[in-house]
Structure 1
Amino acid sequence: MALASTIHHGGDDGIVDDLDTVRGVARWLQQQSENLAGEGLAAGDLVADEELRDAIIGVRRAVRALFARVVSPAPPSPADAHRLMPADEALAHLNAAAAREPVAPQLHWPAEGAPAARLLSAEADPHVRLVAALARDAVDFLSGPEREQLRACHAPRCVRYFLKSHGRQEWCKPSCGNRARVARHYERTRGTTAGP
């Protein structure tokens, strides 16, 4: 979700892409440092460059295309609805990115705790490990139960996907709900207040 949300509405600036520059990628990686640590990656080991930016954007394009498939027949996010990757291409891209890192499951079992599985990587390049980890996380999400709660927010100017947390939720956040209600009210009253 964090990767898909790097495209969002930025107020008067319209749609913002947090990954539109190498500097933006570096900033996003720093913001994701806790999540990266869970994948065995240190944000300091990841020097953003144009090649890494392209690889991350490729995974994001695949993820957003597959998110659009999940929410169908409802419309996808308007941010990229006009330029989505075909679903079969997105699926192939995501699987290829996930397969770039050879990993093996390892059992970790402390003397005073429960056993846990971890993936041990045989890949030295942190860029490959990062892109593969992003793709694996997307595979886990898209094949898991949370996928059923995925929705595209259709409030005016919003382009986010979100996980529906309760039965009546229609928007990603309260401010989007407020904008949608204001827009509906404006549409209803616009016809009634128009003079001759």
Structure 2
Amino acid sequence: MADSIDADTRLALDLALTIRHDGQGGVADDLTDPAGLTTWVRGHAELLPGADAFVADAAALAAVRDLRAAVRSLFARAVRPGDPSPADAARLLPVPQAVLRLNTAAALAPTVPVLTWDDGAEPVVRRQAVGGAAPLPALLARAALAFLASPDRSRLHACHAPRCVRYFIKEHPRQEWCKPSCGNRARVARHHERHRKSAQAVGD
């Protein structure tokens, strides 16, 4: 992920990308069991407090999968009028339901404003969880909310290279694909399609 992407954007995007191409023409899901969620959370220790000691159970898995469905549904809205990822385009949640799911998860840990004012610096107000660390669904929901309300949302796109189901943040205005390998596959597919149409026209 590019350095220009902030922590909330990266976390929201990485959650969506736990649904990905499996390399064989299908779609893989990294969150099919609690072990998969444990691995994913621990791989984001720099973004999620307490991730090193996190162990998922069935309830946590269900909550995060529900949240991911809401995030991907809102990503699909964000990329309009472009097409959503083909991985779940036929089973997206209605937008009001997805928004409610995110807001409900974000509210699982109340926060209060906390002022810090260091010598030689401007005062800063941050939101801090009441009563200790926020639960995982709340942290993920808040990251998604922050991303969806940020200017980065306008750079979100679905990659439509053959076999790809990823969402990505455009790093430059002309970027069409999430990574160079997807661009190569798309160009090869276009080349074959042109030749197929030419051969068909000659045959007719």
Matched, 1:109 2:117: yes
Per the alignment, residue 37 of structure 2 pairs with 25
* Gap change, CA 1:46 and 1:119, over 3 Å in 2: farther
Distance 1:7 1:180 in 2: 20
Deviation of 1:59 (Å): 1.0
Deviation at residue 43 of structure 1 after TM alignment: 1.1
With 105-114 and 74-83 compared, the bigger mean Cα shift is at 105-114
Q: Match for residue 142 of structure 1?
A: 148
Unaligned 5+ runs, structure 1: none
Asked if 1:164 corresponds to 2:204, the answer is: no
Q: Are residue 67 (structure 1) and residue 75 (structure 2) matched?
A: yes
The yes-or-no answer on 1:95 pairing with 2:103 is yes
**Secondary structure, aligned partner of 1:118:** strand
RMSD of aligned C-alpha atoms? 1.8
| Paired position in structure 2 for 1:118 | 126
Give the C-alpha shift of residue 113 in structure 1: 4.9
Distance 2:116 2:28 in 1: 41
Aligned residues: 190
Give yes or no for contact 1:30–1:43 (8 Å, CA) kept in 2: yes
TM (normalized to structure 1)? 0.89
Cα separation, 2, equivalents of 1:83 and 1:4: 15
Are 2:192 and 1:186 equivalent residues in the alignment? yes
- Measured against aligned partners, the alpha-carbon deviations of 1:14-33 in whole angstroms (never above 9, x if no partner) come to 21111111111011011111
Q: Which has the higher helix share?
A: 1
- Identity score, percent: 50
Counterpart check, 1:42 vs 2:54:
no
Cα 1:51–1:123 shift into 2, 3 Å: farther
Q: Report if aligned partners of 1:78, 1:159 keep a CA contact under 8 Å in 2.
A: yes
1:105 deviates by 1.9
Structure 2 unmatched ranges of 5 or more: 1-12
SS of equivalent to 1:52: helix
**Could you say which residue in structure 2 is the equivalent of 1:85?**
93
User: Which of these residues, 56, 59, 63, is aligned with residue 51 of structure 1?
Assistant: 59
Q: 1:176 and 1:13 mapped to 2: Cα distance? A: 13
How many Å apart are 1:114 and its aligned residue?
5.2
